[in-house]
Amino acid sequence: MSAKNFGAALLVAAGTTMAIGTAVAAHADPTDDARAEQIDQAFLQAVKDQGLKLKSDAFAVDLAHSTCDVLARTGSVENALRHIQNATDWSDSKKIGAFGSLSVQGYCPKSMPKQ
């Protein structure tokens, strides 16, 4: 999936994944740990809603964080997508793009590619 297509996929998925931010904001707790837990739960629900199957919830959250790390470290959407593909058994670019989109929306929204 190209960076341009990934950027478009992020924007399309934004409507779906906005639920992550909305759900967390609606029940925001002043503690960082509670907020992180709320984000994780909203993220995991969005992953399930998209029909994306991973080894475990912990693996999904860890992969999302490491995807954001790759994106921040390299600035490359292609590297972030490759990271997801290498960590999963997915060959479907729609699944890879959807997970990348959810990861960015949930954990590193400032890294969302610009159109």
Tell me the angle at which helices 93-107 and 57-74 cross, rounded to the nearest 10 degrees: 80
Q: What is the pLDDT of residues 63-84, one digit of tens each?
A: 999 999 999 999 899 999 999 9
Terminal Cα-to-Cα distance of the chain (whole angstroms): 15
**How many structural domains compose the chain?**
1
| pLDDT exceeds cutoff 80 at 104 | yes
Range of the domain at 81: 3-111
C-alpha dihedral (63, 73, 39, 57), degrees to nearest 10:
10
What is the pTM for the complete model shown? 0.75
